[in-house]
Structure 1
Amino acid sequence: MSKLSDATRNKLKSVSTATVATALYKRGLRIQCIQDVHPLSPDQPVLVGEAFTLRYMPAREDLNRLEVFRDRSHPQRKAIEDCPPGAVLVVDSRKDARAASAGAILVTRLMQRGVAGVVTDGGFRDSAEIAKLGFPAYHQRPSAPTNLTLHQAIEINGPIGCGDAPVFPGDVILGDADGVIVIPAHLADDIADETLEMTAFEDFVASEVRNGRGIFGLYPATDEQTLKDFAVWRQKMGR
């Protein structure tokens, strides 16, 4: 059963990966952003969910022939059917875009099962088809169609590295137009609360800057008047 509450999930859907990165940095966590992954579609929804992981390794050809995919215990196939609804399938493909982590059929199956989204630091086959699904999906870049067996799936739901970020099963994944960040599970509620407050303040600051106000004393809020003005703005905006 998911440990991520609906309240925390909804809060995280309203904040940005950049704001979360700042909140994590305050806690000494500097490498939580998954590097060099991109949304397949600019219109896909914000991604929030707990990590369910899949790890690949370089294929040994005699152990990774096409017939292995007939095995129901094959880690890739099993991960597609076992990833819980509301979770995010996070794939360690060793930052190799040649590695086809999945294709449109498997990603469609994830979507139909209620999975929140999928992230790989490798590539997807059928990336144009996946982009049309309206399903949150992130990859490095498309895989060549012939590279289905370049890597082999080896482990489900263990700790992985994805795009240089550590990902443990149950960590909370947030993906937006800028990229994907990993929130350690035990920090998710606190980060959601803090970043919701940070977002309100940043929206206030952006409004003030658009109206011609300078940043000294405003951002960061080192002038007492800034906090007074922010309180008035929050009341006016219902934030």
Structure 2
Amino acid sequence: MNHRTVLIMMLVMSFFHVESQGVAASPEYIKELTAGWSGERFADGRPKVSDALLKRLKNIQIEEAWGYLRSRDYHNQYEGGWEVIHPDSVMTGRVVTAQYMPLRPDYQQLVKIKGGKENRDTIGGSNSWPIEILRNGDVYVADGYGRIVDGTLIGSNLGNAIYTNSNNGVIFDGGVRDLAGLLQIKGFNGWFRGEDPSYLQHEMLTSINTPIRIGRATVLPGDVVLANRHGTIFIPSHLVDRLVISSEVVGLRDQFGFQRLREKKYTPGQIDTKWTDTIDADFMNWLKNYPDNKLPMTRKELNDYFKGKK
């Protein structure tokens, strides 16, 4: 058997072993995307960041999270300029991603076929598919390429379904409809580009739980999002725990600094620059006397944090 025949046989065999891409990413692919995570995962492969961390993250300022990520070379995780259903609320959660594109009939037909093989509902609109897989604490994040007119990804019916499945909300680089109805869903929140009475038309879902772009941010399935009136920031799952405690310590440093400024113990110039050894020692002593029940973390977590800094 000559080399050419062997090569042809290898190519034919490899062709029959190729697995076609589905609508939703496989658990194996999601695990590759989130390889830095070493904890528990959902069945779909997404990292299962704890509810306790998600709760603590709500108290972190966007600027603190942004600064921490920039210091780790994650420069493209923030996006702003949103309209928000309830601007005074803060939302955190584990990301489920969806990609939308302008409708192309042949591609849409393939997506429906693939969805049918994945046992998805092919009778209704495919924009319900990401909603059907949401778990408690998830946030539905969709790239609707900024389209508002005919790009309304949900109205009040789907909004109710989202909240029923996730007890959370949405972040849409696109539009919503029936905002009056969405406002009535207690506990639901959403970040979106605009509202319009039109239905979703000439636009199609192309993938679920694959990497997407939200404005200037790159978002992966399993990221954790912090969203408030000041914007949205998408945090890689393996950085959440360290980001939270680092930001909490920054908050404690700010409290200490404000208190000492009010006491006129230090000048603004001394506080608003790199601290001297004397101020650092004063801060550590201040922390020792800080009530345990008012700390944002446990005393052990705080002590371990400073041990790790040495």
TM class, shorter-length: 0.7 to 0.9
1:231–1:117 distance in 2 versus 1, CA, 3 Å: same
Answer with 1 or 2: which has the greater Rg.
2
Between stretches 108-117 and 177-186, larger displacement belongs to 108-117
Matched, 1:218 2:263: no
Matched, 1:105 2:157: yes
Mapped to 2, the partners of 1:48 and 1:73 lie a distance apart of 29
**Secondary structure of residue in 2 paired with 1:105:** helix
C-alpha displacement of 1:207: 4.5
C-alpha contact 1:76 1:153 (8 A) present in aligned 2? yes
Aligned with 2:180 (options 114, 128, 133): 128
In the alignment, which residue of structure 2 is the partner of 1:83?
134
Aligned length, in residue pairs: 233
In the alignment, which residue of structure 1 is the partner of 2:257?
205
Unaligned 5+ segments in structure 2 are 1-41, 113-120, 296-310
C-alpha displacement of 1:56: 0.6
In the alignment, which residue of structure 1 is the partner of 2:145?
94
Amino acid aligned to 2:221: P
C-alpha contact 2:136 2:168 (8 A) present in aligned 1? yes
- Of structures 1 and 2, the one with the larger relative CO (CA 8 A, separation 6+) is 1
In the alignment, which residue of structure 2 is the partner of 1:56?
100
C-alpha contact 1:75 1:156 (8 A) present in aligned 2? no
1:58–1:199 distance in 2 versus 1, CA, 3 Å: same
Deviations 1:138-192 (A, max 9, x none): 11221x2125214222211111111221111001111122111000122112112
C-alpha contact 2:177 2:198 (8 A) present in aligned 1? no
**Secondary structure of residue in 2 paired with 1:175:** strand
TM-score, normalization: structure 2? 0.67
Deviations 1:213-237 (A, max 9, x none): 6432213442334334433544555
Mapped to 1, the partners of 2:273 and 2:55 lie a distance apart of 27
1:74–1:203 distance in 2 versus 1, CA, 3 Å: farther
1:100–1:61 distance in 2 versus 1, CA, 3 Å: farther
In the alignment, which residue of structure 1 is the partner of 2:8?
none
Aligned with 1:5 (options 50, 65, 70): 50
In the alignment, which residue of structure 2 is the partner of 1:158?
210
Mapped to 2, the partners of 1:77 and 1:191 lie a distance apart of 33
Mapped to 1, the partners of 2:126 and 2:222 lie a distance apart of 18
Matched, 1:148 2:193: no
Amino acid aligned to 1:168: L
Aligned with 1:19 (options 34, 59, 64): 64
Mapped to 2, the partners of 1:208 and 1:106 lie a distance apart of 51
In the alignment, which residue of structure 1 is the partner of 2:302?
none
C-alpha contact 1:49 1:87 (8 A) present in aligned 2? yes
**Secondary structure of residue in 1 paired with 2:171:** strand
Q: Which has the higher helix share?
A: 2
Amino acid aligned to 1:55: Q
Between stretches 188-197 and 161-170, larger displacement belongs to 188-197
Aligned with 2:283 (options 216, 221, 230): 230
Mapped to 1, the partners of 2:258 and 2:177 lie a distance apart of 40
Deviations 1:46-90 (A, max 9, x none): 2111110111101247987xxx9x835743111111122211100
Mapped to 2, the partners of 1:214 and 1:168 lie a distance apart of 44
Mapped to 2, the partners of 1:79 and 1:187 lie a distance apart of 25
Mapped to 2, the partners of 1:232 and 1:128 lie a distance apart of 52
Aligned-CA RMSD value = 2.6
Matched, 1:37 2:82: yes
In the alignment, which residue of structure 1 is the partner of 2:248?
196
C-alpha contact 1:121 1:163 (8 A) present in aligned 2? yes
Mapped to 2, the partners of 1:185 and 1:113 lie a distance apart of 21
